[in-house]
Structure 1
Amino acid sequence: MTEARGVEGPWRRLDGRMLLVHPVREAVRYIPVLVVTVVVGSRSDNPLWGLVGLGVIVVLAVGRWFTTTYRIGAEHVQLRRGLLRRRTLTVPRSRIRSVDVHADPLHRVLGLAVLTIGTGQRADREERFHLDGLDARRVPELRALLLAEGAEAEDTGHVAAPTTDEGVDIAEWRPSWVRYAPLSLTGLAIVGPIVGLAFKYGVAQVVVDSRTVRDLGDHGAVFLALLVLIGIAVLIAVTAVAACAHYLTTYHGLRVLDDGKTLHIRHGLFTTRQTTLDLARLRGATVNEPLLLRLAGGAELEAVMTGTDARRKLLPQAPRAAVERTLARLLASRGRHDAAAAPARVELLRHGPRARRRRYVRALSPVALLAVAAVASSLAGVAVPYWTWPVLALLAVGAALLAEDRYRGLGHAVLPATPIWLITRHGSLDRDRDCLEAPGIIGWTVRQTFFQRRAGLATVTAATAAGKKRYHLVDIPIERAWEVLDAVTPGLRGHR
């Protein structure tokens, strides 16, 4: 919050139709309170207690509309709200990084929308600048007004703003993409807490102690194993359905439009969301390839931007070809013709046999320690179960496959385009291919652990004000690390 200087423009209220939304929302929010008042009223033979509670909630909800005003000036935007405690939130125009618009089903029925200003900082609900209840027809004008500069930034009420349908369509959602939804952890995140609560409250113990299991006698273990397998199959099916449902409701109708200055992202089935990003803050993109999605030929695309969330998603789970095509169009529309398709498709340089050996040593060392412990126990006369050795062999094979995949995921490239591009990739279960513009890199760190020094390797970190802030070239040969620094930021190290 800052002191406003030179704020112009009249104070405005939210749309009057919010008088219908606030009471409904607050009544749903305070259902426990209403239940308590009804119970108290019924026990005291005075049913009016329930109506009194509902009346208080409605009055407070209606009061929110009368006590909320906003104005947009050439230098600041202000939001004033609060009944008992008045608050004035002031945001400098220079701090606005993005404008997010969304509308739930009730807002859509009434022709309303919620507009939120993004400043690149995390804030709780009370500190966020959001206008809950604007006429949806005025939202495009306000969005353009908030992202405008100079004299155009004043709220005169006569600003002509482009519609969100203007610009180059660089990505459009396809219904067939829903097949990639179960390959993420979204469904597990939805169903997992429910299963956890069931186990917490003793569902598994009830099954184990049930008369059916006890009557099976020696076959009880087999029955339980079969029951676990069936439960896992049902869990996978329910998780897949939940992931698909979440994917459809969240990303249905997604479109990404580029008008040369801003990027418009629109999606949603029941609750629609529109996000406007300033392209002047774009510093690159990240192609995210989790293991299951990668095996199915899919990927996700995220924008690397200053002043926004670390992971600003442009495309959800989609075919790899669609991700590459969207990235190429995004870069081409910004005049990066020489590098339009290269960052997503260029062949990366391997990090060599020393990096591969390090991957195998780190993956197989825990298995080797377990094997040594098993052998030592056997020599000491302690009985080792017969199934220990097959399990260790399977673990060794799995660790070797993981090590090879992690090595294949290592790589980097420097594209001598205008501007210069740095591409880096690492990871296995969660693999990222980061494409960064050299002008966005503000510093470097070359780090070597004890074991890296012995292997002649290093981890190079490119620091930037955008995206994840730090982008790593993992286990790169030390002599090549200095070459990358000189190629991406010539003259940074000076003469030695």
Structure 2
Amino acid sequence: MSDKMAEPRRLHPATLVVRWLKIVPQMLAAFIGLTVAVMKEGVGGALLTAVLLLLAGGVFVALAWWRFTYRVEANEIVIEKGVLQRQRRVIPFDRVQDIAIEQPLLARIFGTARVTVETGGSDKEEGRLDMIGLGDARALRDRVRRGKAGAPAAADAVDAPPAEEPLLFAMDVPRLLLAGLFNFSLVFLAVIGAVLQYLDQLGLVEWNQWFNSERADQALHMATMGTVAILAVALILAGMVAGVVRMVSANFGFRLTRAAAGFRRKRGLVTLTDVVIPLRRTQVALIESGPLQRLFGWHALSFQTLGADRKEGGVQIAAPFARMAELLPILAEAGFPAPPPRTEFHGVPRRALLRRAGPWLALAAIATGAAFAIEPLAGLGGAALLALALAAVLRWRKHGHALDDRALFVRHGFLTRRLWIIPFEKAQTINVSRGPLQRPLALASLLVDTAGGSGLYNQAIVDLDARDAERLADRLLALFYPARARARLQPQ
């Protein structure tokens, strides 16, 4: 099999069909223009133009498929493509982090897979094979793994059964359904709005006739406590159903196993994915939970990884819905320490409330005065500003940090709680900053930045005492060098 893989190979013939289907939506604008042409110049000219467009698209798809080849040589993958401008990309095995295999719905119908070559130190796709046979995809992945390990590329080795990978975490259907109920979603409202707006642009729906002041007045007069309650219950049920659909679609068959290079994650209902989360590229761990999830003891675990798929923001989900007891073995396997107890976290000074809640309270006082003097409705704005001030106080109460001998822990949030675990050896920069409202209060913020650190929100410690921030930065810097030395001695 390895000899065959060394010969130039093309993508699966089903690529022609799939790419043809993909370009059809791009021709919708042309078809709309053809409709106008039918009205002005007759059916014959419009149909001729449509046929020419379809033929041109088909010819381009066929040429692109014919000119795309790939082959797997002794120590590298070679991809050549391009119709007018040829490109040749060579990817050595020692730069390949893993071969990710995905099966979207159309690929599953044709028995094919999408293969992405993930390389270390890059956040771009250096090699992608849209549709090859599923068996060829697995053979390619096995061949690259053996090449990285220095094993011979014998044909019998390709067909050897893979070693069983230890299971770390899995989600069955009952847990998926429960997780969907906790992940309430109203995304369908945005979808409905986008569809209505698009239909309005085409002239098929009159948006102004659906939503106007007259309709709003009619709705207010017809509204009763019963109808409002029914609509609220219907909205909640629809949000719960949407959450279940999203959770099941994304995480059906979720399995996290321990592979040679890291964690292997398999999941998906419509699109099946098989990816590896490389341990040596994990930078930060994030444990988060919403208010209802936390009340019942459920959490989610993610890793920020260097060079991760940008579609996911550099974040790889390791456990979407799990107990803390299930997360701890995953953290230990990845080399991250367990979170310390709450009593070991240090908060920020009380005077930080002047910066966090003070501006909102001042604006609320102004709005309240305006409500008495000018406009009573301004009182609603004052109430909203008071709510923002209260939220700032609650976030201040839950914000803090802790240190152990291996990592820095930072926690944020009141409703959605987030806990970052930042190993000392992963630090790239330690930044202490003081904003214009912090300087008069002798406050500062400390951020330990890591490689690819834009994915997991902002793990800064905000509004520390300025002197404490400087001392903490010095301590982190002193802990960094021994931790980096220990990390270099550990096997990858």
- Tell me the TM-score range normalised by the shorter chain: 0.7 to 0.9
Alpha-carbon distance in structure 2 between the residues aligned to 1:109 and 1:193: 27
> In structure 2, do the counterparts of structure 1 residues 48 and 170 end up closer, same or farther at CA, with 3 Å as the change threshold?
same
Unmatched runs of 5 consecutive residues or more in structure 1: 1-7
> In structure 2, do the counterparts of structure 1 residues 480 and 97 end up closer, same or farther at CA, with 3 Å as the change threshold?
farther
Q: Which deviates more, 420-429 or 263-272?
A: 420-429
Q: For residue 436 of structure 1, what is the amino acid of its counterpart?
A: I
State the match for 2:486 in structure 1. Answer: none
State the match for 1:347 in structure 2. Answer: 342
Matched-pair contact (CA < 8 Å) for 2:20–2:61: yes
1:474 aligns with 2:462: yes
Q: For residue 251 of structure 2, what is the amino acid of its counterpart?
A: Y
Q: Which deviates more, 235-244 or 19-28?
A: 19-28
> In structure 2, do the counterparts of structure 1 residues 162 and 277 end up closer, same or farther at CA, with 3 Å as the change threshold?
farther
Q: For residue 452 of structure 1, what is the amino acid of its counterpart?
A: Q
Alpha-carbon distance in structure 1 between the residues aligned to 2:12 and 2:371: 76
Query: How far apart are 1:22 and its partner, in Å?
Result: 4.1
State the match for 1:171 in structure 2. Answer: 169
CA deviation profile, 1:348-378 (whole Å, cap 9, x unmatched): 6444462x44236522532332323543674
Pairing partner for 2:364 from 370, 373, 379? 370
Matched-pair contact (CA < 8 Å) for 1:145–1:152: no
State the match for 2:12 in structure 1. Answer: 15
CA deviation profile, 1:180-211 (whole Å, cap 9, x unmatched): 436557x434431532664795646545465x
1:433 aligns with 2:433: no
Q: For residue 366 of structure 2, what is the amino acid of its counterpart?
A: V
Alpha-carbon distance in structure 1 between the residues aligned to 2:438 and 2:74: 54
Q: For residue 367 of structure 1, what is the amino acid of its counterpart?
A: L
Q: For residue 363 of structure 1, what is the amino acid of its counterpart?
A: A
TM alignment of 1:435-454, pairs within 5 A = 435-454=421-440
State the match for 1:3 in structure 2. Answer: none
Matched-pair contact (CA < 8 Å) for 1:411–1:424: yes
Query: How far apart are 1:254 and its partner, in Å?
Result: 0.9
State the match for 2:409 in structure 1. Answer: 423
3-state SS, counterpart of residue 327 of structure 1: helix
State the match for 2:449 in structure 1. Answer: 463
- State the Cα RMSD in Å: 4.1
3-state SS, counterpart of residue 101 of structure 1: strand
State the match for 1:195 in structure 2. Answer: 193
Alpha-carbon distance in structure 2 between the residues aligned to 1:304 and 1:264: 15
Alpha-carbon distance in structure 1 between the residues aligned to 2:300 and 2:44: 59
Matched-pair contact (CA < 8 Å) for 2:188–2:242: yes
Alpha-carbon distance in structure 2 between the residues aligned to 1:27 and 1:241: 31
> In structure 2, do the counterparts of structure 1 residues 377 and 133 end up closer, same or farther at CA, with 3 Å as the change threshold?
closer
Q: For residue 139 of structure 2, what is the amino acid of its counterpart?
A: E
Query: How far apart are 1:151 and its partner, in Å?
Result: 6.9
Alpha-carbon distance in structure 1 between the residues aligned to 2:306 and 2:273: 21
1:84 aligns with 2:71: no
Alpha-carbon distance in structure 2 between the residues aligned to 1:46 and 1:389: 61
Alpha-carbon distance in structure 2 between the residues aligned to 1:147 and 1:61: 32
CA deviation profile, 1:424-451 (whole Å, cap 9, x unmatched): 1123455421112211113311222344
State the match for 2:278 in structure 1. Answer: 278
Alpha-carbon distance in structure 2 between the residues aligned to 1:332 and 1:294: 22
3-state SS, counterpart of residue 71 of structure 2: strand
Alpha-carbon distance in structure 2 between the residues aligned to 1:251 and 1:327: 17
Q: For residue 375 of structure 1, what is the amino acid of its counterpart?
A: G
Matched-pair contact (CA < 8 Å) for 1:177–1:317: no
Pairing partner for 1:359 from 353, 360, 364? 353
Matched-pair contact (CA < 8 Å) for 2:250–2:269: yes
State the match for 2:105 in structure 1. Answer: 105
Q: For residue 472 of structure 1, what is the amino acid of its counterpart?
A: A
Alpha-carbon distance in structure 2 between the residues aligned to 1:427 and 1:260: 36
3-state SS, counterpart of residue 13 of structure 1: coil
Query: How far apart are 1:114 and its partner, in Å?
Result: 0.4
Query: How far apart are 1:28 and its partner, in Å?
Result: 6.1
Alpha-carbon distance in structure 1 between the residues aligned to 2:415 and 2:171: 26
Query: How far apart are 1:75 and its partner, in Å?
Result: 5.8
TM alignment of 1:194-213, pairs within 5 A = 194-195=192-193, 198=196, 201=200, 203=207, 206-208=210-212
1:314 aligns with 2:317: yes
1:43 aligns with 2:43: yes
Structure 2-normalised TM-score?
0.77
CA deviation profile, 1:92-141 (whole Å, cap 9, x unmatched): 54554453321122211221100112346555xxx752101211123233
> In structure 2, do the counterparts of structure 1 residues 156 and 456 end up closer, same or farther at CA, with 3 Å as the change threshold?
farther
Matched-pair contact (CA < 8 Å) for 2:81–2:88: yes
Unmatched runs of 5 consecutive residues or more in structure 2: 201-205, 483-492
CA deviation profile, 1:12-65 (whole Å, cap 9, x unmatched): 322345455444544565466578779869712896765555444434333333
Query: How far apart are 1:413 and its partner, in Å?
Result: 1.6
> In structure 2, do the counterparts of structure 1 residues 332 and 208 end up closer, same or farther at CA, with 3 Å as the change threshold?
closer
Matched-pair contact (CA < 8 Å) for 1:73–1:153: no
Q: Which deviates more, 476-485 or 298-307?
A: 476-485
> In structure 2, do the counterparts of structure 1 residues 462 and 361 end up closer, same or farther at CA, with 3 Å as the change threshold?
closer
> In structure 2, do the counterparts of structure 1 residues 89 and 153 end up closer, same or farther at CA, with 3 Å as the change threshold?
farther
Matched-pair contact (CA < 8 Å) for 1:424–1:473: yes
Q: For residue 100 of structure 2, what is the amino acid of its counterpart?
A: D
Matched-pair contact (CA < 8 Å) for 2:165–2:257: yes
1:410 aligns with 2:403: no
> In structure 2, do the counterparts of structure 1 residues 352 and 269 end up closer, same or farther at CA, with 3 Å as the change threshold?
closer
Matched-pair contact (CA < 8 Å) for 1:445–1:462: yes
Query: How far apart are 1:282 and its partner, in Å?
Result: 2.4
Q: Which deviates more, 110-119 or 280-289?
A: 280-289
> In structure 2, do the counterparts of structure 1 residues 376 and 333 end up closer, same or farther at CA, with 3 Å as the change threshold?
closer
3-state SS, counterpart of residue 136 of structure 2: helix
Q: For residue 222 of structure 2, what is the amino acid of its counterpart?
A: F
Q: Which deviates more, 54-63 or 220-229?
A: 220-229
How many residues of Structure 1 are paired with residues of Structure 2 in the alignment?
461
Structure 1-normalised TM-score?
0.76
3-state SS, counterpart of residue 273 of structure 2: strand
Q: For residue 315 of structure 2, what is the amino acid of its counterpart?
A: R
Alpha-carbon distance in structure 1 between the residues aligned to 2:466 and 2:46: 81
Alpha-carbon distance in structure 1 between the residues aligned to 2:353 and 2:151: 54
Alpha-carbon distance in structure 2 between the residues aligned to 1:493 and 1:454: 34
Matched-pair contact (CA < 8 Å) for 2:115–2:130: yes
Query: How far apart are 1:269 and its partner, in Å?
Result: 0.9
3-state SS, counterpart of residue 140 of structure 2: helix
